[in-house]
Copies of this chain bind each other. A is one copy, B any other.
Amino acid sequence: MHAKEKKNRSNDAMFRMVEDIIGCKWSLSVLNLIKNGINRPGQMEQSVDGLSKKVLNERLRKLVRYRIVEKTVFPESPPRVEYDLTPFGLRFVDILEAIESLDREFSENNS
Contacts and interface: CB of A to CB of B under 8 A. Distances in A.
A95 interface: yes
Identical subunits present = 2
Interface stretch (A45-53, A54-62, A101-109): A101-109
Interface residues of A, number: 28
16 contacts: A7-B107, A10-B103, A11-B100, A13-B103, A14-B103, A16-B23, A18-B18, A18-B99, A67-B106, A88-B102, A88-B106, A88-B109, A91-B102, A91-B105, A92-B102, A95-B102
A13 B99 CA distance: 11
Given A11-B100, A15-B22, A19-B23, 12 more contacts: A7-B107, A10-B107, A11-B103, A13-B103, A14-B106, A15-B99, A16-B23, A18-B99, A19-B22, A91-B102, A91-B105, A95-B99
